């Protein structure tokens, strides 16, 4: 399988066009907060109400989403609909715009409402999106505890210290 170019801006445009309620999390959100860590996927936390699941399903269909994983064959069928999304929480996809990971309840959180409360609006290429707070990004990375999260935590904590030092 050839590598699909990572195009987070198009993914975000499609999500916004479908009026999906989400908060950006993960490495892309961390880079928007100032982390120098490069990411190759887009992570988001989505609202799990039925209307939002319907809108998210439409966006996933437009993006050509199919399940992604080390033991997931390319031909494995996936039905992008609200019922399927309601039946799960975390999904990893390959889309025509690159890798997309969606989580209803990221590690260390109570889900969308929890993250949305401290998220701030950020403008990216003329689009306004909600981005998880630095403290929430740290909390999620700490709880996930994967080796790559531990490495990213050093940068995020350094950013937190720099911000704290600069605040009166």
CATH number at residue 133: 3.30.460.40
- For 120, the domain range is 8-161
Write out the chain's pLDDT in tens, 168 residues. 457 889 999 999 999 999 999 999 999 999 999 888 888 999 999 999 999 999 999 999 999 999 987 777 666 778 899 999 999 999 999 999 999 999 999 999 999 999 999 999 999 999 999 999 999 999 999 898 788 878 888 889 988 888 888 776
Our count of domains for the chain comes to 1
Reduce the DSSP state of residue 39 to 3 states and report it. coil
Burial class (CB in 10 A: 0-12, 13-18, 19+), 92: middle
Residue 38 pLDDT: 81
Is residue 65 a part of any domain in this protein? yes
Is residue 140 a part of any domain in this protein? yes
Closest to 93 measured CA to CA, from 20, 31, 42, 52:
42
Closest to 140 measured CA to CA, from 153, 123, 128:
153
Is residue 44 a part of any domain in this protein? yes
Is residue 166 a part of any domain in this protein? no
Q: Is the pTM of this model over 0.85?
A: yes
């Amino acid at each position: 399988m050839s590598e699909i170019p990572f195009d987070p801006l198009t993914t975000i445009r499609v999500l916004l066009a479908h009026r999906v309620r989400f908060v950006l999390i993960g490495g892309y959100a961390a880079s928007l907060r100032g982390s120098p860590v490069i990411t190759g996927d887009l992570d988001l936390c989505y609202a799990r109400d039925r209307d939002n699941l319907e809108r998210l399903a439409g966006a996933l269909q437009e993006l050509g989403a199919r399940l992604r994983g080390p033991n997931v064959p390319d031909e494995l069928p996936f039905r992008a609909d609200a019922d399927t999304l309601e039946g799960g929480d975390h999904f990893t996809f390959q889309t025509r715009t690159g890798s997309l990971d969606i989580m209803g309840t990221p590690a260390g959180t109570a889900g969308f409402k929890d993250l949305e409360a401290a998220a701030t609006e950020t403008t990216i290429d003329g689009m306004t999106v909600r981005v998880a707070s630095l403290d929430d990004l740290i909390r999620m990375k700490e709880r996930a505890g994967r080796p790559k999260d531990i490495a990213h935590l050093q940068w995020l904590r350094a950013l937190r210290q720099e911000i704290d030092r600069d605040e009166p």
